[in-house]
Chain A
Amino acid sequence: MNEMTGTPIAHAPGFIANETPRIVTARFDYEDSHTLERYEATDGYQALKKALKKTPEEVHDEVRDATLLGRGGAGFPAGVKWGFCPPGVWPRYLVVNGDESEPGTYKDRLLMELDPHQLIEGCLIACYAVGLSQCFLYIRGEMAVAQERVAQALNDAYGAGYVGKNILGSEFSVDIVLHWGAGAYVVGEETALIESLEGNRGMPRLKPPYFPASIGLYGQPTIVNNVETLANLPWIVQHGADAFTAIGTESSPGTRMVAVSGHVKRPGVYEIVNGTTTFRDLLYGNDMCGGIRDDNQLKAFVPGGGSAPWFTPDQLDLPFEASQVGPQGSMLGSGAIMVMDETTDIPAAALTLTKFYAHESCGKCVPCREGGTWLEQILRRVVTGRGTARDLELLIEVGETICPGEFPHAAVPDKGIEAVPFPYRMTTICFVGPSAFAPIHSALTLFREEFEAKVAGNETRTMIEVAVDV
């Protein structure tokens, strides 16, 4: 065990332990956390045994009662999502979304590398509860180590009788197939993930009608769950929904993993209490990030992955609670916080995100395919001092072809700007297009003077060297 609370552990770079109850990271302290031996020695596969003594419906009820919110980004309750499979349509499948790629997001990779059996047990519980007869565990292509750890864990779990035919001597049988991607951000969107798993270009499908729970993989009812969501299931089944809802708040119970990166003293992945922990606790708490680097002032932060509208110090006291963050103009998304201190060149910072989404557009929807590229090119000329005042208007005009109407943003009390609540309207199938506009819109709304200085030629510094196109 690592006894030093708050110190990164050598074998788990990125993860920092704190005083929060640990539901999904409990085994991260052990160097052999990924092995079957360690898993079995620490309550591993006990929840599966417990679940198999109940009916599938009872297990489903337990998960529904726990109000386990999906941890992938949308935050929809998993137990409710499971209930959307139409009765009498068979087979049903489970697709595990391990294609973690949202900028700033970094938790599912740790869960796969450091505790793969916990994820496998979560998959088994979901399959049992919903009657899913085959599971496909889709891991992002660029995560070679996660693929190795999960492959080894699956081989060991098959060998020990936890996965496959007649699991633990019961009638419950399910194969878990390890599948992996090949580098495409958009595949993290659940319908694009299914397209990719069918061997196609990873382009999203229109919803409706293609809600995976009714028309998913091969046109069959399919549950798509995020890695962290599934990793919570063994604990919930083992300790009960009441124990889970005793942590956090009624509408956001349990814990969640968040990654804090950028200009903080101790960037890291933390497991925090959902619903009550505030951004201030996280960024300034001594057992968490410990403040801004060099004791600088905080300028802005992205609260929920690269797609999320930005916050400033005025929003620091908001908790990790969707019902409070939404009205203030952003979202909790995938649990990724990117922090910018006072030295940050805001237009250049926005460009590092817009270029990402422009690059990752799959090309299916014209407003995203064309608009994303336009946004990137216009912003790039502004950032490099070749822009004009007209370009600042043009950025908004192009953005409005992707997201018509008011776009969500935070309040700026000093400037008399009021918050516009989340979400937004969109002309695209998925969120890649709007996400190219989100950083530009936030940066321009909250820090317009920095853009004006760039186009007036008064501002020539480039604090962030924005790397070449990828």
Chain B
Amino acid sequence: MTFFTDENLALAEEIIGRYPKPRSAMIPLLHLAQEQEGWVTDDAMTQIGELVGTTSAEVLGTCSFYEMFKRHPVGKYVINICTTMSCALMGAGDLMKHAESRLNVKSGSTTPDGLFTLEGAECQAACTEAPCLQVNYRHQYRVTTDQFDELIDELALSDHDVPDHGVLSQIRQHIPEDRSVGAVPPEDVKVAPVWFSEDGGS
């Protein structure tokens, strides 16, 4: 099964190589698939299964557990409005009502032009800056209804620096070959690391 582009396939193999067991790369590869396509397709899950040595059903099992993985197309911008306590105390409910009316969709839906998916979300670790929201997992703080409208206008005109949905970290880790210790399957390690004396260990 071919889903990943050549470039992303090379990246996927680099990521797998960092783990003592390939299956550990499952979530990072699902993110990579979502970055490529905007959502996680069946083809992507099949190829990820092949890459990490498991079935596509196992990949689906993991994929379906996690909120961020979308198994259907979503908007270019996924807007998550926090609805947990601190934000609720500071007006998140009103913000959500306003957002539904401004975008003319219910929470959980995508606008017909495919630009925006609106979702209620749980605590986003910005509780002092309530109410907060995230656009493609980038925070906006103390959002008023006017600011929400401005944000939507800017996003619609692409007048902002938020990457498309699926792109998470725009900086990737690269471990230089000459600096890498390398991942070893646990069953191949029998002794303490060289710097660590077993007698002096705890």
Contacts and interface: CB of A to CB of B under 8 A. Distances in A.
Given A196-B27, A200-B62, A467-B81, A360 B88 contact: no
A184 B123 CA distance: 11
Given A83-B202, A164-B179, A352 B85 contact: yes
B137 A218 contact: no
B192 interface: yes
Interface string A141-184: 11111011001101100110101110000111111011111111
Interface string B164-202: 000011111111101111111010011111111110111
A454 interface: no
Nearest to A465: B93
Interface in B53-102: 54, 61-62, 65-69, 80-81, 83-86, 88-94, 96-97
A204 to B, nearest CB: 13
A261 B101 CA distance: 28
Contacts of B93: 464-467
A262 B24 contact: no
A173 B193 contact: yes
Given A173-B195, A183-B66, A262 B123 contact: no
Nearest to A55: B200
B189 A262 contact: no
Of B24, B91, B134, most A-chain CB atoms within 10 Å: B24
A44 interface: no
Of B28, B61, B178, B196, most A-chain CB atoms within 10 Å: B196
A199 B23 contact: yes
A45 interface: no
Contacts of A56: 195-197, 200-201
A352 B88 contact: yes
A340 B89 contact: yes
A131 B192 contact: yes
Q: How large is the interface on B (under 10, 10 to 19, 20 to 34, 35 or more residues)?
A: 35 or more
Contacts of A152: 171
A267 B131 CA distance: 12
Contacts of A82: 202
B66 A131 contact: no
Interface string A81-104: 011010110110000000011111
Contacts of B138: 144-145
Given A141-B66, A177-B18, A467-B120, A105 B127 contact: yes
Interface in A193-248: 196-202, 218-220
B44 to A, nearest CB: 14
A344 interface: yes
B172 A469 contact: no
A91 B191 CA distance: 7
Interface in B117-154: 119-130, 134, 136-139, 141
A108 B94 CA distance: 29
Given A142-B68, A356-B122, A468-B120, A155 B174 contact: yes
25 contacts: A56-B200, A101-B123, A103-B85, A103-B122, A131-B193, A141-B68, A143-B137, A144-B168, A148-B170, A152-B171, A158-B176, A175-B175, A182-B27, A184-B65, A199-B26, A261-B86, A306-B123, A349-B88, A352-B84, A353-B85, A356-B85, A356-B123, A465-B88, A468-B106, A468-B120
Given A56-B201, A155-B173, 16 more contacts: A13-B141, A14-B129, A57-B200, A91-B193, A102-B123, A104-B85, A131-B201, A141-B137, A177-B173, A182-B69, A183-B68, A199-B27, A201-B65, A261-B89, A355-B83, A356-B123
Interface of B: 18-21, 23-28, 30-31, 52, 54, 61-62, 65-69, 80-81, 83-86, 88-94, 96-97, 106-107, 119-130, 134, 136-139, 141, 168-176, 178-184, 186, 189-198, 200-202
The 3 closest A-B pairs by CB, nearest first: A465-B93, A183-B67, A199-B26
